[in-house]
Structure 1
Amino acid sequence: MPPLRRSDSLIDIDFTLRRQFNKQSFRPGQREIILAALDGKDVFVQAATSFGKSLCFQLPAVVDRGITIVISPLLSLMMNQVSALRAASIDARTLNSNTPPPERSHIFADLATGHPHTRLLYVTPELCALESFRARLRLVHEQKELARVVVDEAHCISEWGHDFRRDFKRLAWFRQSFGSDVPLMALTATANAQVRGDVLRTLGMDTDGLKCFATTAHRPNLHLEVRFTSDEANDRFDDFVGWIKGVYERRAGPERLGEVEEAGERVDGVAGIIYTVSRDECEMLAAALRQEKIGARPFHAKLTKEAKEATLARWIKGEQGWDIIVATTAFGMGIDKENVRFVVHWRLPKSFEGYYQEAGRAGRDGKAGYCFLYYSREDRDRTCSLVTRDAARGRGTGGEEESERSVNGKARLESLQRLVAYCEDTGGCRHAAICRYFGEEAVPVCDSACDYCREPELLRQRMKSGLASEEWVSTQREEGRYDEYWSE
Structure 2
Amino acid sequence: MEIDSYLSEIEDKYMFEFKDKQRESIENILQLNDTVVILPTGYGKSRIYFHVPELFEKLSGEKSTVLVISPLQALMKDQISKLEQLNISATVVGECQPDKGVIENIAAGKYSIVKSSPEAALTPGLWRTSLTKGQFHSHIKAVVIDEAHCITQWGGEFRRHYDRLAELRSVVPEKTPFVALTATSTKSMHSEILKKLQMKPNGTKTISKLQERTNITYSLKKSSKSVHELEWLLKDLKTNSVKTKKTVIYCRSILSCADLFEYFKWY
Q: Alignment partner for residue 129 of structure 1, among 112, 116, 122?
A: 122
- Percent of aligned positions that are identical: 26
Query: Cα offset for 1:165?
Result: 3.4
Q: Is the 8 A contact 1:48 1:215 kept in 2?
A: yes
Displacement of 1:139 in angstroms is 1.1
Residue of structure 1 in register with 2:105 after alignment: 110
Q: How does 1:76-475 map to 2 (within 5 A)?
A: 76-101=74-99, 104-105=100-101, 107-113=102-108, 116-132=109-125, 133-140=127-134, 144-159=138-153, 165-178=159-172, 180-225=174-219, 232-233=226-227, 239=233, 242-243=236-237, 246=240, 248=242, 372-375=247-250, 379-380=251-252, 382=253
Of residues 40, 52, 56, the one that matches 2:48 is 56
Change (3 A) 1:220 1:143: same
Contact 1:224-1:371 at 8 Å conserved across structures: no
Q: Which amino acid is the alignment partner of residue 214 of structure 1?
A: S
Asked whether the equivalents of residues 130 and 136 of structure 2 are also in contact (C-alpha less than 8 Å), the reply is: no
Q: 1:222 touches 1:371 (CA, 8 Å); kept in 2?
A: no
Please report how far the alpha carbon of residue 80 of structure 1 lies from its aligned counterpart in structure 2 after TM superposition: 1.2
TM-score, structure 1 length as denominator? 0.45
In the TM superposition, residue 39 of structure 1 has moved relative to its aligned partner by 1.4
User: Is the CA contact (8 Å cut-off) linking 1:157 and 1:165 kept in structure 2?
Assistant: no
Distance 1:14 1:67 in 2: 21
**Structure whose alpha-carbon radius of gyration is higher:** 1
Question: Gaps (5+ residues) in structure 1?
Answer: 1-5, 251-369, 384-488
Shift of 1:235: 6.3
- Counterpart of 2:11 (choices 17, 27, 41) is 17
**CA separation of 1:160/1:135 partners in 2, compared to 1, >3 Å: closer, same or farther?**
closer
Would the alpha carbon gap of residues 126 and 234 (structure 1) be closer, same or farther in structure 2, given more than 3 Å must change?
farther
Q: Structure 1 CA distance, aligned partners of 2:184 and 2:118?
A: 19
Taking the aligned partners of 1:17 and 1:245, their CA distance within structure 2 comes to 46
CA contact under 8 A between 2:131 and 2:172: conserved in structure 1? no
CA deviation profile, 1:146-202 (whole Å, cap 9, x unmatched):
1111001111112598xx732211111112344742110001111111111111111
User: For each residue in 1:429-486, what CA deviation from the matched residue of structure 2 results, as whole angstroms up to 9, or x when unmatched?
Assistant: xxxxxxxxxxxxxxxxxxxxxxxxxxxxxxxxxxxxxxxxxxxxxxxxxxxxxxxxxx
Are the aligned partners of 2:66 and 2:141 in contact in 1 as well (CA < 8 Å)?
yes
Distance 1:171 1:85 in 2: 24
Q: Do the aligned partners of residues 137 and 372 (structure 1) sit closer, same or farther apart at CA in structure 2, a change above 3 Å counting?
A: same
Residues 182 and 224 from structure 1, CA distance in 2 versus in 1: closer, same or farther, beyond 3 angstroms?
same
Aligned to 1:482: none
**Structure 2 length as normaliser, TM-score?**
0.79
Q: After TM superposition, give the deviation of residue 108 of structure 1 in Å.
A: 0.8
Task: Classify 1:249/1:200 alpha carbon distance in 2 versus 1 (closer, same or farther; 3 Å).
Answer: closer
Higher relative contact order (CA 8 A, sep 6+): 2
Whether the aligned pair in 2 keeps the contact of 1:86 and 1:92 (CA below 8 Å) is yes
- Answer yes or no: is the 8 Å Cα contact 1:227–1:373 preserved in 2: no
The question of whether the paired residues in 1 share the 8 Å contact of 2:131 and 2:137 is answered with no
Residue 143 of structure 1, CA deviation: 5.5
Equivalent-residue separation in structure 2 for 1:33 and 1:70 (angstroms): 16
How far 1:142 sits from its partner (Å)? 8.2
- In 2, Cα distance between the equivalents of 1:237 and 1:91? 52
Residue 166 and residue 373 in structure 1: after superposition, are their counterparts in 2 closer, same or farther (change >3 A)? Answer: same
| 1:211 partner letter | K
Find the counterpart in structure 2 of residue 275 from structure 1.
none
CA distance in 2: counterparts of 1:138 and 1:240, whole angstroms: 59
Aligned: 1:73 with 2:71:
yes
Report the AA paired with residue 151 of structure 1: I
